[in-house]
Chains A and B, each alone.
Chain A
Amino acid sequence: MFQTKLRYGIQEAAVRPLEGDEISTTVGQQIEKMLEKSDDQRLRTQIQRALEDPQSTIEIRSGKRVQTVTPGMPMRELLGADSGELEITVSQPHVGG
């Protein structure tokens, strides 16, 4: 069992458990499911807009491990242990210089 947290930058959008049959979903589908649980309409819009932008970044933290992922990646490939906390962070594009 994984407790999954969705963030937009440092803002927490939703928290929900990842059910067993959801392991076969993709990152994008999982984020959509989590957005259904979010009460913050503004945050939902920002995340949905970020997901449409190919320059946005999605990071997944599990324990000390951080990975960058794409919406199409299967969740199964990202889950290391049998249980724990999973944090999905969606970030808008940031440019330096």
Chain B
Amino acid sequence: MLLAGPTVRRIHREREMGMRQDRELTRPLAPAGARRQRLAARSGRTPSRKKVAENAAFPLDMATVLGLGCDPELAVMEGRVGRICRRLPGVNEPVVALAEKRWPILFSGPFRERLTRSLLPHLSGLRHWAEAQRKARDYADLDGSDLAMMPRDTEGLGPFVHERLIPRLRDAASFDEEEDMVVAESLVDGLLTRLEPEFAFVDGRWYGLVPFCGEPEPRQPEFIVGKNRFLGLRAGSAVDALARYDTVLREVVRAIFPAEGGGWKERGYLYRGKEGAVMRTPAGRYFACLQMPPYVVEGDDRKLYSFEAAEIGIQIVSTDARKGIRPVSVQVLHAYRHMFVSGWGGGNFICMPRFENYYEELSQLPLEEALLRHLESARMTLCAGYTPLSSPAHSIQTLGRPILSEEEAQRRGLPIYRYPFRAKGSAGF
């Protein structure tokens, strides 16, 4: 069965009308609460409700950044991070002497590296949190005025976007990895200047370590690395220390992200690479987006029509590919005159009929892959979909597009998508 033209538009409208917002959108949260509760239980204290509420709004906590999930007891000394093991120490092993016991510290690498590694996967969430504090957003028209059309299946969209879609886009864009590394390094610099240079979490307590020579007081916690000795002169509960560190993390994030400047990060993007992007509108709709460079389409009159760069996007309405990917689901995110875009204002849909086996194939793929393939298909529809078999909403001659000569198009480096005058034997869908 072939879905095409007015039919798919009607089906799309009907399906859209059936959608409504049932609950508030959620964002992915690191499982901070559970970890903090465990630490609190170990230290015999319960974190206050206020602290838990504050942290719930922030997508990351310092327990995660420090890696306390893997190394629940650790020491940061001389720029390295090490795990405190509950066993007898070997000869010349770095140790912590606590009360009558001595446990070895197994150093695993530079503290800076651990911080960077921990922060990198969370940058988009942190950026989003920082952006949520600001009001200015473009592309607000994508939300329209009818919030009743918000999708019902919003649970899991945030985690999908941050944990699968953005990493998939990042795979294809080393450029952004480099950019993210710069941002992560800035965050790490901010943290390292605000945290104590030497500290440890052990036995449900936090210790600020101070270099020391001489004989310590009896029962004074002592950390020994080779010939260097540190005393845990400052001490407190692990929970309070982590709450303080979380505040530091929030302040550093708040300071770093606005400093990245305006541009796309001000416009509600969670991620923007060379081609792909992910956006969250003010009302909380997620869009997977694709940027298209300028191009030229040959008309059936053999003239070359110039089209400016465009950004197209598909709203992620469900974590089920079968629900969100339809013949009329990709939008041009701004005003754009094109043969296959029904209206010319912002947010209008691209009509791209496909056979049912196309959607069947997409539904078998991971959602992020399906979304990106459908967007690529939409890009090709705009660029190369003008054929004898197409049924455009507008004639190419009525769009008011500039007409270029072959030489001018080549001089500008624009790709020319030819009209297949003599093509035969292809269904074309």
Contact = CB atoms under 8 A, between A and B. Distances in A.
A24 B323 CA distance: 48
Given A54-B423, A59-B415, A95 B376 contact: no
A94 B393 contact: no
A96 interface: yes
Interface stretch (B24-32, B45-53, B381-389): B381-389
B340 A97 contact: yes
A96 B426 contact: no
Q: Is the interface of A mostly helix, strand, loop or mixed?
A: loop
Interface residues of A, number: 19
Given A54-B422, A68-B415, A91-B380, A96 B373 contact: no
Interface in A45-89: 53-55, 57, 59, 64-68
B385 A96 contact: yes
A97 B376 contact: no
Contacts of B426: 53-55, 93
B385 A95 contact: yes
A95 B377 contact: no
A49 to B, nearest CB: 10
A54 B415 CA distance: 17
B323 to A, nearest CB: 21
Interface string A28-60: 000000000000000000000000011101010
B415 A9 contact: no
Contact of A10 (B340, B373, B415, B417): B373
Contact of A94 (B295, B377, B418, B425): B377
B350 interface: yes
Nearest to B350: A96
Given A68-B416, A91-B384, A97 B353 contact: yes
Contacts of A94: 352, 377, 380-381, 384-385, 428-429
Given A55-B423, A57-B384, A97 B390 contact: yes
B110 interface: no
Nearest to B380: A94
Interface in B395-429: 413, 415-418, 420, 422-429
B416 A97 contact: no
A51 B422 CA distance: 16
A96 B415 contact: no
A9 B380 CA distance: 9
Between A54, A94, A96, the greatest number of chain B beta carbons within 10 A of the residue's beta carbon is seen for: A96
Given A10-B376, A55-B423, A55-B426, A96 B413 contact: no
Nearest to A93: B428
A59 B172 CA distance: 18
A96 B377 contact: no
B5 interface: yes
B141 to A, nearest CB: 23
B159 interface: no
Interface in B272-330: 293, 295
B9 to A, nearest CB: 10
Contacts of A68: 384, 415-418
B330 to A, nearest CB: 11
A68 B298 CA distance: 12
Contacts of A9: 373, 376-377, 380
A66 B387 contact: no
B420 A55 contact: yes
A47 to B, nearest CB: 15
A97 B389 CA distance: 9
B39 interface: no
Contacts of B63: none
B78 to A, nearest CB: 42
Contacts of B204: none
Contact of B293 (A53, A54, A66): A66
Contacts of B422: 54
Given A55-B423, A95-B381, A97-B390, 12 more contacts: A54-B420, A54-B422, A55-B428, A57-B380, A57-B384, A57-B417, A68-B417, A93-B384, A95-B428, A96-B352, A97-B339, A97-B392
Considering the complex of A and B, which 5 residue pairs feature the smallest CB-CB distances, nearest first?
Answer: A96-B340, A96-B385, A97-B391, A94-B380, A93-B428
26 contacts: A9-B377, A10-B373, A11-B373, A53-B423, A53-B425, A53-B426, A54-B420, A54-B422, A54-B423, A57-B380, A64-B293, A66-B413, A68-B417, A91-B384, A93-B426, A93-B427, A94-B377, A94-B380, A94-B428, A94-B429, A95-B352, A95-B381, A95-B390, A96-B385, A96-B390, A97-B390
